A and B are shown apart, each in its own frame.
Chain A
Amino acid sequence: MSKIIIGRYIPGNSIIYKLDPRGKLLACILFIFVIFLANNWITYGIISAFALIAVAATKLKPKVFWAGVKPLVWLIFFTSILQLFFTSGGTVYWNWWIFTLSSYGITNAIYIFIRFTLIILISTVMTVTTMPLEIADAMEWLLTPLKLFKVPVDKIALVMSIALRFVPTLFDETLKIMNAQRSRGADFNDGGLIKRAKAISPLLVPLFISSLETAVDLSTAMESRGYRGSSGRSRYRVLSWSNVDWINLGFFIALTILLLIFRTH
């Protein structure tokens, strides 16, 4: 089980993989804002086309994206159905007690459905094509202005990269402890809520202790390798912004302008 895909990154080498993570993160966040500009069929069509181009550009199997949408399917349907039955206005087709089925309701439900799916698709494109480490680097870059307010961005970045580096290690450790406790008769999958919660403690306590021990060992190792806080450090890993990244942002700006033109007021 040590080969887990952290953050569900799937290696590949289409053009999206070569984009700078800063550009991707920025576009991903802005997309969520921009999607609220869409308010008619044309704008929804434009933004869907844009998202589908992004999905296609990853050259990954559709299955990957379905896996991204699947856990949220119930939320999407629930919200859409609420919209469907609780919106009044336009032509009313059907009415019973507090439920109404109107033309506005139908269009609203479809809009919400599209909006949800697109946001999930775009964030899946982001996480699937970017290594967690790159995302951490991109986040550090986004946080840089906070240095003005004396936020220790360098230290936060180090914390993030160490946390990411230990995700698979701790996962392995968890499995090892679970197996060790199972071989002594612990049962993690049976019984009611309280019994299961109690069964977790022989897993959690050793895991906490081992994480603390790891932390002590790691800090000793870091210190003996000359780590003395963030000042005066240089950086080995740097991100490079290329022309493709300008094109990426260019596409995004074009999308925003198109949406502003075609949206109804």
Chain B
Amino acid sequence: MENIVTFKNVSFTYREAKKPAVNNISFSIKKGSWTSIVGHNGSGKSTISRLINGLLVPDDNPETEIVVDGIKLSDDTVWDIRNNVGIVFQNPDNQFVGATVADDVAFGLENRGIQRDKMIEIVDTVLKEVNMSDYKNSEPSNLSGGQKQRVAIAGILAIEPKIIILDEATSMLDPQGKEHIIELVKRMKQKNDLTVISITHDINEAANSDQVLVINDGNLVTSGSPNEVFIQTKMINEVGLEEPFIFKLQEKLKAVGIDLPPNLDTEEKLVDALCRLNSKM
């Protein structure tokens, strides 16, 4: 499959910082995949998401190249790229622009100069998709955090992006709200053939993705499938992360001498393997 996002030798230094926040990173993301970017606080994960849609401009370097959906990021193309990328940010309160739910969903459409009758149609459809139709005229102060994030997703779906970035979008929600949002994004990914980039602390969520990028102090430590990445227990602990529960469990089981097959990267596979072991005994 083709790559939808390519980073080549990208560095970024904040103005007052001595060290770059992102240090000479190269990676690529496949179209239609779910990629998780993990790392401890201040490792530069969020900076990467802002580099993708041109909110931040990478350090000057002739070898630097950011390509999104075949378009090379530059001053002239930044708005074309933003058209294809939707970001859901961390704080549900601080990204709600409109005074009501419908206004907020329409904000992105207004910016693109869409005709009003078409906007009304789109707003109604996407609100139905995220299950917020009943709240169409509600004000943000009357919504819960999870509902606000759903509105934010609706606002992004309205502009039909190719890439959706979750910038720690669930970190301020309770476990239930978190689950709802992830389920919703999964459903939308299937339906609209989206590429999802999720910046997350939730290691268990990362374990369910297609690709994991581990960032530490601005450097890309490793990347690959969750199985390839989380098997490197020592490295994961060194960068200050924890392995997902299913990997931890496998390790403990192996330590007490239970022989498990390799590549058990989902809960179902582990359950299956354990059941099979049981029947052998």
B107 is contacted by which of A133, A169, A225, A232 (Cβ under 8 Å)?
Answer: A225
Q: Which B residues are in CB contact (< 8 Å) with A133?
A: 99-100
Q: Mark B76-100, 1 if CB is under 8 A from A, else 0.
A: 0001001101110101011111111
B116 touching A226 by the CB < 8 A rule?
no
Within 8 Å of chain B (Cβ to Cβ): is A67?
A: no
Provided the pairs A235-B116, A237-B103 are in contact, do residues A162 and B97 lie with their beta carbons within 8 angstroms?
Answer: yes
Residue of B nearest to A214 (CB): B94
A233 touching B111 by the CB < 8 A rule?
yes
B97 touching A226 by the CB < 8 A rule?
no
Within 8 Å of chain A (Cβ to Cβ): is B69?
A: no
Provided the pairs A226-B79, A233-B110 are in contact, do residues A218 and B94 lie with their beta carbons within 8 angstroms?
Answer: yes
Alpha-carbon distance A223/B53, docked complex (angstroms): 10
Within 8 Å of chain B (Cβ to Cβ): is A242?
A: no
A226 touching B95 by the CB < 8 A rule?
no
Minimum CB–CB distance for B178 against chain A, Å: 20
Minimum CB–CB distance for B50 against chain A, Å: 8
Main secondary structure, interface of A, reads: helix
Within 8 Å of chain B (Cβ to Cβ): is A186?
A: no
B95 touching A165 by the CB < 8 A rule?
no
Count of chain B residues with Cβ under 8 Å from any Cβ of A? 42
Within 8 Å of chain A (Cβ to Cβ): is B37?
A: no
A165 touching B108 by the CB < 8 A rule?
no
Residue of A nearest to B111 (CB): A226
Q: Which A residues are in CB contact (< 8 Å) with B172?
A: none
Count of chain A residues with Cβ under 8 Å from any Cβ of B? 30
A234 touching B119 by the CB < 8 A rule?
yes
Residue of B nearest to A173 (CB): B93
B99 touching A161 by the CB < 8 A rule?
yes
Minimum CB–CB distance for B96 against chain A, Å: 7
Q: Mark A33-53, 1 if CB is under 8 A from B, else 0.
A: 000000000000000000000
Minimum CB–CB distance for A87 against chain B, Å: 48
Q: Which A residues are in CB contact (< 8 Å) with B100?
A: 133
A224 is contacted by which of B82, B94, B119 (Cβ under 8 Å)?
Answer: B82
A223 touching B55 by the CB < 8 A rule?
yes
Q: Residues of B with Cβ closer than 8 Å to A?
A: 50, 53, 55, 79, 82-83, 85-87, 89, 91, 93-100, 102-103, 106-116, 119-120, 123, 139-142, 155-156, 159
Chain A to chain B: the 10 pairs with minimum beta-carbon distance, closest first: A236-B106, A217-B94, A221-B95, A168-B141, A226-B111, A225-B108, A165-B99, A133-B99, A234-B113, A224-B87
Q: Residues of A with Cβ closer than 8 Å to B?
A: 2-3, 133, 161-162, 164-165, 168-169, 172, 213-214, 217-218, 220-228, 232-238
17 inter-chain pairs at a CB distance below 8 angstroms, sorted by A residue, are: A165-B97, A165-B139, A168-B139, A217-B91, A221-B95, A221-B97, A224-B85, A225-B86, A225-B108, A225-B111, A226-B82, A226-B83, A228-B111, A233-B111, A234-B119, A235-B116, A237-B106
